[in-house]
Structure 1
Amino acid sequence: MASSTVRPADQAGPSGSTTEREAARRLLDSSAKLSYDPATEVDWDTPLDDGFHGMSPEWSTLYGTRYWQEMTEAQRRELTRQESASVASTGIWFEMILQQMVLRDMYAKDPTDPRFQWALTEIADECRHSIMFGRGAAKLGAPAYRPGRFVLELGRAFKTLAVGEAAYASILVAEEVLDVMQRDWMRDERVAPFVRTINNIHVVEESRHMKFAREETRARLRHAGPLRRHVQALVVSLASYFIVTSMVNRQVYANAGLDTERALAEARANEHHKSLMRSSCSGLMEFLASCRLLTRPALAFYKRAHLI
């Protein structure tokens, strides 16, 4: 397993391979040319128009259920606003884990290395994203949604212990799932304009983060043996399961004025939403398979989370 403070032996020299450094330079150049300041790009001042959704309705956990059919349009819009805020809050939670893992990985490494500089650029992006998501959730009229205590404590352990490919592949999973959702939402005129702007900013900037996470995952696994791959594959699948199943907090239903127990039951049985999650993660699963991280135990957790 790669140390969080020592560059793995499979990488060339203290600054990684020439190809990896060049890739980091391109990411730095892209960031310099195309980045956003959410404080000025997002319309924070216009009051919320409750005629808009918070996400594309088709992404709601209740879309297509009997309960959805019984709801008024106003209830559907309120539910999607609460669900969108919950997804954003989960994003903040994982972005804070991400920042700590990347900082720990870069500790005491060469600051002249473009990979080091890109890592700090990514952390700066994530700080802005977390503030943006927090302000967006507040504007949607939502409380501070958080994962349950058990998952919070697992996250605390994960950010402290996860290293190498487990850290970067887990980062990729969280970012890829959110990216697919937000690409739909940012184009949907039914979604509140300020939410669409937030989604657009996140999609543009996260595309660079995902590229870096893919490159780092491949690099860390370059000479990994079967045992290491099996262990890390299981770690990544467990992280993925808890991230995805924490995206929509059970409290969103009560806050949208719905019967929580009925909503939870119908959401758990919602084949439309499960199918949407599976189809949106096909590219991610192909990448994990190419890295030989789709072992039988890992597949069990991806199936439970309806990612495959």
Structure 2
Amino acid sequence: MTNATERDPRLLRDALGPLRDREQVAQRLLESSARHSFDPDRDLDWDAPIEDGKWFWPPELVSLYDTPLWRRMSEEQRMDLARHEAASLASLGIWFEIILIQLLVRHIYDKSVTSSHVRYALTEIADECRHSMMFARMIEKGGAPPYPVPRVHHNLARVLKTVSTTPGSFAATLLGEEILDWMQRLTFPDERIQTLVRGVTRIHVVEEARHVRYAREELRRQMVTAPRWERELTRISCGQAAQVFSACFVNPRVYTNAGLDRREAVAQVRASGHRREVMRAGARRLTDFLDDVGVLRGVGRGLWRRSGLLG
């Protein structure tokens, strides 16, 4: 008995087309990786002293910026909060990258080990390992503690990554990469920022650009070829992931460790129009893309709105 593609050569060509395109994209990304990859342990000066009078994160991206509490804080307090928030974001980045590594390993488990698509996935996994170590080293250098996400969200992520569909995995990849990428693109050219932090964010931006391309291409392909139930589940799981990500973006302990009243700080961040616009601006390129490929529909769109990342 023959299947439909064997009976009709045109169907076979249509079925192979996305796979050829997938291989071409992966080959280009592999070539880019060979030209523009970094070793943070060697390419950054970890022995250089912390620079007096420089920020660890752009003040406009600090959660309390332009709130009444921010206006009462001294410049020293503001810079200290920025240092803690940089550590919180780096901790969030490590958490997300460990999740993404697991999702990528699952994605390639049944695929040809000699394909360019799998080779690039393994290249990206290696990148993410270096990034996680780089972020951890930056936290330690800055003198702030690591900020793990709350236990409830840590465990919820176990469920999300376990039940995630293939397109859902790539949507989650983009969620974890694109908002931080937007902020880091504002950070690495900013001369007010610590040289080490600028170097870390530059490396991450350059290498994450390839990761975003890989995930976008695969998500677009998956949202066309996946069965309807998988697309619907992806919309819901992606919306839930957006809520978790938004809730974990800044650990509230940063306010206590910066000498502030945690409840007052959290309340002012929630009421801040500036903060709301920063988060939506950071997500806008991503949400435009997700809308274009059909992820932001139905219940999932409502979840994204409740996350605060979609206007």
Under a length normalisation based on structure 2, what TM-score does the superposition of the two structures give?
0.92
Equivalent AA in structure 1 for residue 190 of structure 2: D
Runs of 5+ in structure 1 lacking a partner? 1-8
Counterpart CA distance in 2 for 1:90 and 1:10 is: 43
By how many angstroms is 1:46 displaced? 1.6
Q: Which residue of 2 aligns with 1:175?
A: 177
Match 2:205 to one of 194, 199, 203 = 203
Give CA deviations for 1:39-97 in whole Å, capped at 9, x if unaligned.
Answer: 01122112223421111100011000010001111111110110011001000001000
Give the direction of change, closer, same or farther, for the CA distance of 1:70–1:119 in structure 2 (3 Å limit): same
Counterpart CA distance in 1 for 2:282 and 2:159 is: 28
By how many angstroms is 1:208 displaced? 0.2
Q: RMSD across aligned C-alpha pairs, in angstroms?
A: 1.8
Equivalent AA in structure 1 for residue 263 of structure 2: E
Counterpart CA distance in 1 for 2:62 and 2:33 is: 32
Contact 2:18–2:221 under 8 Å retained in 1: no
By how many angstroms is 1:16 displaced? 5.8
Counterparts of 1:17-166 in structure 2 under 5 Å?
A: 17-166=19-168
Q: Which residue of 1 aligns with 2:4?
A: none
Larger Rg: 1 or 2?
2
Corresponding pairs, count: 299
Counterpart CA distance in 2 for 1:10 and 1:35 is: 35
By how many angstroms is 1:25 displaced? 0.2
Q: Secondary structure at the match of 2:224?
A: coil
Runs of 5+ in structure 2 lacking a partner? 1-11
Q: Secondary structure at the match of 1:160?
A: helix
Q: Secondary structure at the match of 1:281?
A: helix
By how many angstroms is 1:282 displaced? 1.7
Give the direction of change, closer, same or farther, for the CA distance of 1:196–1:102 in structure 2 (3 Å limit): same
Contact 1:88–1:133 under 8 Å retained in 2: yes
Q: Secondary structure at the match of 1:240?
A: helix
Q: Which residue of 1 aligns with 2:266?
A: 264
Q: Secondary structure at the match of 1:188?
A: coil
Q: Which residue of 2 aligns with 1:287?
A: 289
Equivalent AA in structure 2 for residue 67 of structure 1: L
Q: Which residue of 2 aligns with 1:3?
A: none
Counterpart CA distance in 1 for 2:298 and 2:277 is: 21
Q: Which residue of 2 aligns with 1:240?
A: 242
By how many angstroms is 1:11 displaced? 8.7
Contact 1:79–1:253 under 8 Å retained in 2: yes
By how many angstroms is 1:225 displaced? 4.9
By how many angstroms is 1:105 displaced? 1.3
Contact 1:10–1:223 under 8 Å retained in 2: no
Give CA deviations for 1:203-252 in whole Å, capped at 9, x if unaligned.
Answer: 00000000000111111121345543222111011112211220210110
Counterpart CA distance in 1 for 2:254 and 2:50 is: 18
Counterpart CA distance in 2 for 1:185 and 1:54 is: 9
Q: Which residue of 1 aligns with 2:3?
A: none
Contact 1:174–1:240 under 8 Å retained in 2: no
Counterparts of 1:5-24 in structure 2 under 5 Å?
A: 12=15, 17-24=19-26
By how many angstroms is 1:193 displaced? 0.8
Q: How much identity, in percent, do the aligned residues show?
A: 41
Q: Which residue of 2 aligns with 1:5?
A: none
Give CA deviations for 1:237-294 in whole Å, capped at 9, x if unaligned.
Answer: 1112211220210110111111111111111111101011112222111111111111
Q: Which residue of 1 aligns with 2:5?
A: none
Q: Which residue of 2 aligns with 1:223?
A: 225
Q: Which residue of 1 aligns with 2:214?
A: 212
Counterpart CA distance in 2 for 1:254 and 1:11 is: 58
Q: Which is helix-richer, 1 or 2?
A: 2
Q: Secondary structure at the match of 2:255?
A: helix
Give the direction of change, closer, same or farther, for the CA distance of 1:16–1:106 in structure 2 (3 Å limit): farther
Counterpart CA distance in 2 for 1:18 and 1:223 is: 15
By how many angstroms is 1:188 displaced? 1.1
Give the direction of change, closer, same or farther, for the CA distance of 1:53–1:235 in structure 2 (3 Å limit): same
Counterpart CA distance in 1 for 2:227 and 2:99 is: 27
Equivalent AA in structure 2 for residue 33 of structure 1: R
Contact 1:11–1:219 under 8 Å retained in 2: no
Contact 2:165–2:230 under 8 Å retained in 1: no
Contact 2:180–2:282 under 8 Å retained in 1: no
Q: Which residue of 1 aligns with 2:279?
A: 277
Counterpart CA distance in 2 for 1:246 and 1:166 is: 19
Q: Which residue of 2 aligns with 1:304?
A: 306
